Amino acid sequence: MRWVAALLMGMATLTVVGCMSLAQIAPPVDVLDRGVVGDSGIEVGALVRGRDHYLRHCGNCHALEPIGDYSEADWRGILPGMIKRCRLDAVKAEELRDYVMVVRGHLDRRG
């Protein structure tokens, strides 16, 4: 049973570390630049749901990619294929796209 305990400890450690790095991979909506969020005209609730879709669907076949690793143009090319692959409905797809673009805008503004 010792290896089971070690495994569960490992999972717990990774959970803590994982939560910290998730904020860098897909920043929570409340840390985004308010100007960028306001200018987007998208309601905060939709962005929060968009982040949830990102976390729940974009790491299922491969490791979750940090949004900052790709430009806005890259994401416009990547997202349609990935959305189709995840079989997201139109509403979820829209929320996911909006969230990624707002994060990209936030990162661009921060330089």
- DSSP string over 6-48: HHHHHHHHHHHHHHHHHHHHS--GGGS-HHHHHHHT--HHHHH
Count of C-beta atoms within a 10 Å radius of residue 102: 24
CA max distance for the chain: 55
Which of 16/73 has CB closer to other proteins?
16
46 binding other proteins? (CB under 8 A):
no
Q: Report residue 86 as tokens.
A: 């995840």
- Identify the sign of the CA torsion 32, 36, 38, 41: negative
Q: Which among 15-23, 40-48, 72-80, 99-107 is the span making contact with other proteins, rule CB under 8 A?
A: 15-23
If one asks whether residue 2 binds other proteins (CB under 8 A), the answer comes out as no
Site for other proteins in 51-90 (CB under 8 A): 52, 55-56, 59-64, 84-87
Whichever of 18 and 35 has its CB closer to other proteins, that residue is 18
Binding site for other proteins (CB under 8 A): 3-4, 7-8, 10-11, 14-15, 17-19, 21-22, 52, 55-56, 59-64, 84-87
